[in-house]
Amino acid sequence: MKKVITLGCIIILLFELTGLSQTHVYGVRVKGSKLWGYADLEGEVFIEPAFKLGFEFSENGRALVVPKKGFELIDLQGKVTDVEVEKLKVITDPWSGIPEGYTDGLLCIKQNNKWGALDSDGKLVIPAKYDNLSIFSGGFAIAGIDQQFIVVNKSGQETPIRDPALKAVKHFSEDLALVKGQEGKWGYINTTGEFVISPQYSSAGYFSGGLAWARDQNGNIGFIDKEGNWAINPRFSAAKDFDAVSGMALITFNDVKHYVNKEGTLSTFEQTSKLYPFSDGLAIARWNGKIGFINNNMEWVIQPKYTAARAFHNGYATVELNSRWGVIDAEGNVIVEPKFMDVRDVKLIH
């Protein structure tokens, strides 16, 4: 079995000897290489750049990578994991076309033109028998077989969705899945396949922080709770999902972008040329060509000094300064000095 060359042996020994319950890792590209490897919050590269693409590690310590061709799985030591399928194929994001990688501890794969899922050990725990399969979230996914939709849990147990008129079912978020009814309206089902909110919206989003955006029959967008009640009355022309940490969502009202909180109060931030969605409690803001971060009180938490940045995830953001990327925490402390050519989001490994 081919092995990936690894660096930072001391770091790996610490993983093995101290039995750390969690760590943070992220993908990196280093100077002089177009390939991806992985680094830790000390800024040490512990898996040498060897992949055309390297995706985020799962919470249980497996990452999907693209070597010279095809896909492989590696562990935190960079070792290739044997898998129970040949010529690994995976789900891609419908908008970007980028492979999803692990979600909720499982990797959706395709074998013999059917879909199933692998666990972190490369075992086929969800048989490849479905015509389609969503990503897993909260222990559940939506599968399709013989023109019927089914709720599947991580043990492979199935619950048929008995409404034969459904046209589409999206993945779960906070235990509810978007469904499209016969008349093209959207509603939500729970993990037992039962309607919680009947199809009635011309379009709708995923639940986050207990609310989801939805568009009424007049074309206006508001936010509903998990019983289908309007928590924020429909009056917007566009909206993004709520950030559960900050309690804020980005919306468009009268052709102007604002933030809205769960009480429906609008806020804006004047010192930026563009508003960005909140993530993990903070939002990117741009001022005089530089990027910083603001909180839900519309205050600078991290002053604008970076040339580029990615949203916060798991308490950290990746930022660019002088054409190099590093890592900062939510107080703006520099955790990894900018030195990499490119980086991905920081992932928490349990």
Q: What are 69-94's pLDDT values in tens digits?
A: 888 999 999 999 888 887 778 877 76
pLDDT value at 20 more than 50: no
pLDDT score of 27 more than 60: yes
Examine the pLDDT at 343 and tell me if it is beyond 50: yes
pLDDT at 209 over 50: yes
In the prediction, which pLDDT does 31 show? 94
Instruction: With beta carbons less than 8 A apart as the criterion, state whether 10 and 337 touch.
Output: no
**Average pLDDT, stretch 29-38?**
95
Residue 1 pLDDT exceeds 50: no
- Output 101 or 216, whichever has higher pLDDT: 216
Percent helix, strand, coil in the chain (nearest 5)? 5, 50, 45
Q: What is the pLDDT of residues 157-190, one digit of tens each?
A: 999 998 878 899 999 999 999 999 988 999 999 9
pLDDT of amino acid 202: 96
Strand partners of residue 117: 108, 126
- What number is the average pLDDT over the span 251-265? 97
What is the Cβ-side half-sphere exposure of residue 169, based on CA atoms within 13 angstroms?
33
Q: In which band, very low, low, confident or very high, does the pLDDT at 315 lie, cut at 50, 70 and 90?
A: very high
